[in-house]
Chains A and B, each alone.
Chain A
């Protein structure tokens, strides 16, 4: 069973699909910071003479050590931030609705939801060489006309996600229609 925190969880509401961004998105961000962390040793090798003479002067040595220490510490923090961002940005398809939870910044978390029965149109998109090769892209979900489109960003296998949401939405619409008819008959 998929387990994740859903705001205002309804009785009997089950998570059917939990989608995160494609792993490649996280990999690119981590790779960038890892590459940046290689910069100080490279600079040291290239400018060895300058560095050794710098270490003889106490003020410059202190500056260099503090800067390098802070640089490595914050590179690690940005790597961790990339992971947290990836891990907490999720799109949930439950038995009742689709929920988008986005950790925008450290103190900013946005949650949006749409009922499955209100979905009007779903489209999946894949643009570019890497997304096509790795099979990731966008899934747009349209509900009421005045509302903005609900977007599953850079998700793996967008066509499969589209197919699943479509099926669930159709099932939910049929279920609600039958319930309404039963209510009318009872009255």
Chain B
């Protein structure tokens, strides 16, 4: 059974999607229910700045990986040499 490496990238993209959905809903709640203060705006800015920094570094490391490769998850059965 082969495991294609790109599955991991898809998984990362799914997690990224969940992260952005939750982040945007938090920002929406802050803008809808809290008074619009400069401090909160700054905090949201710093939050997204840090997020993009983490994503950037992760993508930098992921760019080294060859996603077209597949790996055998179950090792092939061991066969005893015939001359034994």
Contact = CB atoms under 8 A, between A and B. Distances in A.
Interface string A54-88: 00001101110110111011101100110110011
A65 B54 contact: no
Nearest to A72: B54
Q: Is the interface of B mostly helix, strand, loop or mixed?
A: helix
A73 B16 contact: yes
Contacts, number: 85
B58 A62 contact: no
A68 B12 CA distance: 11
B66 interface: yes
A6 to B, nearest CB: 10
Give the size category of A's interface with B. Answer: 20 to 34
Interface residues of B, number: 35
A76 B29 CA distance: 17
Contacts of A72: 54, 58
Given A62-B8, A76-B51, A4 B35 contact: yes
Given A3-B35, A62-B5, A68-B58, A77 B29 contact: no
A101 interface: yes
Contacts of B50: 76
Contact of B30 (A61, A68, A87): A87
B19 A66 contact: no
Given A4-B34, A5-B32, A87-B40, A73 B26 contact: no
A100 B65 CA distance: 51
Contacts of A110: none
A73 B35 contact: no
Given A59-B5, A87-B30, 7 more contacts: A58-B66, A62-B62, A62-B65, A76-B54, A80-B47, A81-B22, A107-B25
